[in-house]
Amino acid sequence: MRGIGRQTWTMTLALAWSAATALGDDWPQWRGPNRDAVYRETGLLETFPKSGLPIRWRVAAGWGFASPVVAQGRVYLADSEVAKPNAKERLRCFDAATGAPHWTYSYDVSYPDWAFDPAQEIGPVATPIVQDGKVYALGRVGHAYCLDARSGDVIWKRDLGKDYGIAIGPGHPSPLVEGDVLILFVGGKPAASVIALDKHNGREVWRSLSEAATFSSPIVVELAGRRQLIVWTQESVASLNPGDGEVLWRQRLNTSGDYAVSTPVCADGKLLVGGLMFALDAKKPAATVLWPASRAPSRRIFSHTSTALVQGDYLYTAKSTGELICVDARTGKQAWEEKGVTDLKNGASIHLTANGDSALLFTDRGELIRARLSAEGYRELGRAALLAPTFEFGGRKVAWSPPAYANRHVFVRSGKELVCASLAAER
């Protein structure tokens, strides 16, 4: 009877997932389909039950901070498996409906001694990207590879640590695909801070910049009649031609790699980098600073962990000390501050995702919140705990990895587990 019960439960989940995916969207890369933290599905809960969101499944996970991604009914997670003196990094594929494993790709890595401390939770920080039946990933010490998304078979692999002299440290943020190239921000040498590999075979197409890497994942925007790759290094904010790596414009800006974490956000001809707002020239590749007047890190970086959400004339972001703030995107003037979203402690994170007329906020406490955000204020609609934080920081434990949203479900991870919960409204 137990076997029949398990089979029935699995079939029920699969059928429910099939119904959800009929009109659902995938979340195949960092910050969603368009890399903009917008979740476009409808039919979601407007408020959350007092009992919490229905948990569909939980599976054990290893260390790391890479977000899960979801494509074609499968979930992909990069993590590490560490037991001194041995360490492996893995890319794991699960059934999105049930959490059942499909395949695991793993490889040996050489971590420094300090990385074996459980408090470090060292593992991949780059979120994989799934495109056209392939999954691309970047490990913590520079292993880049392309796998068949269905089977896990290796199509190509590179040891970028060996090829470009990169090591563990700030850097290795999430890759992106632009046309036929896989763009990686690795801080390599010589003149290989950013590299582009042929996505079909892994061969280098171009390299650019001699600057130290950060944790900030690059984006590509369409401005001044051309594609521009925006990269935030430890020495500058730069726009590159994604076709050949040519520098289109560059604003010098010294920033520690641990501070340059948020992803640049482009909206309405403006570019937000950390907490520094640029005006982008509509006629030629160029940028000028709008605000703030000061270049001091404390004035131009909102958060060391989270990326702002820009909506119209206002932006919403976490501060590194836990407050959620609303800022006028035109002037940089703060409109309001909300202190009840998460703990008011250094290293707080609030990952914001737009959805319809409200937003989903995943906090370092492992909680998901639905709230309405406007220039007038913050209105919380629901809150649910999804997982227990595991990473030790500042005398507490935090969950820093952003979630993935797909097919009316949310997927979150810690250093111990990957969790899937339903967001679907009852019909």
Tell me the per-residue pLDDT of 401-422, one tens digit each, with 9 for 90 and over.
Answer: 999 999 999 999 999 999 999 9
Residue 87 has pLDDT above 70, yes or no: yes
Residue 330 has pLDDT above 50, yes or no: yes
- 331 neighbors 325 (Cβ within 8 angstroms): no
Residue 277 — left, alpha, or beta (φ > 0 → left; ψ -120 to 50 → alpha)?
A: beta
Q: Where are the alpha helices (H) located in 212-343, listed in sequence order?
A: 297-300
Distance of alpha carbon 58 from alpha carbon 194, whole angstroms: 36
- Tell me what pLDDT residue 183 has: 99
- 67 neighbors 403 (Cβ within 8 angstroms): yes
Distance of alpha carbon 390 from alpha carbon 410, whole angstroms: 19
Peptide bond into 85 cis (omega under 30): yes
Mean pLDDT rounded to a whole number for the chain: 94
3-state DSSP helix/strand/coil % of the chain, to nearest 5? 10, 45, 45
By the 10 Å C-beta count (0-12 exposed, 13-18 middle, 19+ buried), 87 is classed as buried
- Tell me what pLDDT residue 19 has: 46
Tell me the β-bridge partners of 336. 326
Distance of alpha carbon 372 from alpha carbon 314, whole angstroms: 13
- Tell me what pLDDT residue 3 has: 43
- Tell me what pLDDT residue 136 has: 99
Distance of alpha carbon 202 from alpha carbon 218, whole angstroms: 19
* Sheet of 334-338, strands arranged across: 309-311, 314-318, 324-328, 334-338
pLDDT class for 86, splitting at 50, 70, 90?
very high
- Give the up-direction half-sphere exposure of residue 177: CA atoms within 13 A in the CB hemisphere: 21
- Tell me what pLDDT residue 24 has: 65
- Tell me what pLDDT residue 299 has: 86
Please name which of 119, 124, 126 lies closest in space to residue 89, comparing C-alpha atoms: 124
pLDDT class for 4, splitting at 50, 70, 90?
very low
Residue 84 has pLDDT above 50, yes or no: yes
Q: Under CATH, which architecture does the 2-422 domain have?
A: 7 Propeller (2.130)
- Tell me what pLDDT residue 5 has: 47
Q: What is the dihedral of CA 183, 133, 353, 12, to 10 degrees?
A: -160
- 276 neighbors 300 (Cβ within 8 angstroms): yes
- Tell me what pLDDT residue 295 has: 85
Amino acid symbol at 327: V
Chain segment 15-71, per-residue pLDDT in tens: 544 544 444 689 999 999 999 999 999 999 999 999 999 999 999 999 999 999 999
Chain segment 217-228, per-residue pLDDT in tens: 999 999 999 999
Please name which of 301, 139, 333 lies closest in space to residue 232, comparing C-alpha atoms: 301
- Tell me what pLDDT residue 297 has: 84
- Tell me what pLDDT residue 11 has: 46
Tokens at 266, concatenated: 């482009």
- 144 neighbors 172 (Cβ within 8 angstroms): no
Distance of alpha carbon 145 from alpha carbon 223, whole angstroms: 31
- Tell me what pLDDT residue 8 has: 45
Chain segment 221-250, per-residue pLDDT in tens: 999 999 999 999 999 999 999 999 999 999
Strand (E) or helix (H) holding 160: helix 160-164
Distance of alpha carbon 238 from alpha carbon 253, whole angstroms: 10
Task: Determine what percent of the chain is predicted with pLDDT higher than 90.
Answer: 90
Please name which of 331, 354, 330, 351 lies closest in space to residue 342, comparing C-alpha atoms: 351
Please name which of 105, 119, 108, 167 lies closest in space to residue 140, comparing C-alpha atoms: 167
- Return contacts of 3-10, CB within 8 angstroms, 24+ apart: 10/98, 10/100
- 128 neighbors 91 (Cβ within 8 angstroms): yes
Tokens at 354, concatenated: 């737009």
- Tell me what pLDDT residue 426 has: 82
Residue 6 has pLDDT above 60, yes or no: no
Tokens at 161, concatenated: 């640590």
- Tell me what pLDDT residue 162 has: 96
- Tell me what pLDDT residue 20 has: 46
Distance of alpha carbon 94 from alpha carbon 106, whole angstroms: 15
- Tell me what pLDDT residue 427 has: 63
- Tell me what pLDDT residue 169 has: 80
Task: Determine what percent of the chain is predicted with pLDDT higher than 70.
Answer: 94
- Give the up-direction half-sphere exposure of residue 357: CA atoms within 13 A in the CB hemisphere: 3
Distance of alpha carbon 267 from alpha carbon 221, whole angstroms: 10
User: What are the φ/ψ torsions at residue 155 (nearest 5 degrees)?
Assistant: -95, -45
Distance of alpha carbon 352 from alpha carbon 17, whole angstroms: 25
Q: Looking at 110-124, 267-281, 343-357, which range is the least confident one?
A: 110-124
Amino acid symbol at 157: K
Chain segment 167-216, per-residue pLDDT in tens: 888 888 999 999 999 999 999 999 999 999 999 999 999 999 999 999 99
pLDDT class for 1, splitting at 50, 70, 90?
very low
Please name which of 101, 48, 95, 66 lies closest in space to residue 407, comparing C-alpha atoms: 95
How far is the first Cα of the chain from the last one, in angstroms, to the nearest whole number?
Answer: 31
Across residues 310-321, what is the average pLDDT? 97
